[in-house]
Amino acid sequence: MKFEIITTGDSSKTLHLPALNEQYHSKHGALTEANHVYIQKGLEQVIESGAKERTLTVFELGFGTGMNAVLTAAKMAESGGEKCNYVTIEPHMLSEEHYAVFEDESWALPKFYRAMHQAVVGEWTAITPHFNLLKLNTTFEAFTTDLRFDLIYYDAFGPRVQPDLWEPWALEKCADLLNENGTWVSYCAKGTVRRGLEAAGLNVERLPGPPGKREMLRAVKAK
């Protein structure tokens, strides 16, 4: 796949796919979006809701640039105490040529970042004392696991580009992957997605979105 590197509204960079006219993150601010949607509305919420003393399990759809994973590892180190086991899937792992572009970014805590990209696919790797990573080279369609998760970062390309990943089967699969009380977050606020999550048995909230997006979605699996 052919990529271009673009600078977004908050000066952080992301990848643009000309063939799909789609980006890995918001053009209004890649880092701001990742922090807002996945860290502030997802991870921080789960940590604050009492997960301090145990190992958190996080699943990410689409490892991509590694931005969500890096921010999560940094937050886990900062909050102290807990550990995070982070499973991420990616059918198109980036080559060094592409991920190296992000190493001069202020957010890209270099040691975590390179270690994450170089972690062996299919093997648990301790990235920090608070963060273990398992990268899998697969699609969500093919992904199977016995693990269940406290938090899902649903970071697929948008419904215009990948409609199938926002269909009821995918949202039901997410609901099944969550632990009781588990949380699903995404930048997407589409009505059909919200209704699909509700139909899958989740309690859905519409929250203020990052710059350029009025709303985002958070959904919790009731006990």
Given the rule CB under 6 A, which residues bind ligand SAM?
24, 61-62, 64-65, 67-68, 89-92, 139-141, 155-157
SS3 66: coil
Question: Following CA atoms 60, 62, 66, 71 in sequence, which dihedral angle do they give, to the nearest 10 degrees?
Answer: -30
Shortest spacing between CB 81 and ligand SAM, in angstroms: 25
Alpha carbon distance 60, 22 (integer Å): 19
Shortest spacing between CB 96 and ligand SAM, in angstroms: 15
Shortest spacing between CB 30 and ligand SAM, in angstroms: 8
Which one, 46 or 113, has the nearer CB to ligand SAM? 113
Which one, 105 or 155, has the nearer CB to ligand SAM? 155
Tokens of 55: 């190992």
Shortest spacing between CB 79 and ligand SAM, in angstroms: 20
Which one, 106 or 222, has the nearer CB to ligand SAM? 106
Distances (CA, A) of 147 to 85, 86, 150, 178: 10, 11, 10, 9
Which one, 57 or 65, has the nearer CB to ligand SAM? 65
Which one, 8 or 65, has the nearer CB to ligand SAM? 65
Tokens of 63: 């490892």
Shortest spacing between CB 80 and ligand SAM, in angstroms: 24
Nearest C-alpha neighbor of 15 from the set 93, 71, 88: 93
Question: Following CA atoms 30, 32, 34, 39 in sequence, which dihedral angle do they give, to the nearest 10 degrees?
Answer: 170
What is the edge-to-edge ordering of all strands in the sheet holding 13-17? 4-7, 13-17, 22-23
Secondary structure tally for the chain: helices H, strands E: 7, 11
Which one, 80 or 106, has the nearer CB to ligand SAM? 106
Shortest spacing between CB 185 and ligand SAM, in angstroms: 12
Whether the Cβ atoms of residue 137 and residue 87 lie closer than 8 Å to each other? no
Shortest spacing between CB 107 and ligand SAM, in angstroms: 11
Alpha carbon distance 154, 162 (integer Å): 13
Which one, 37 or 178, has the nearer CB to ligand SAM? 37
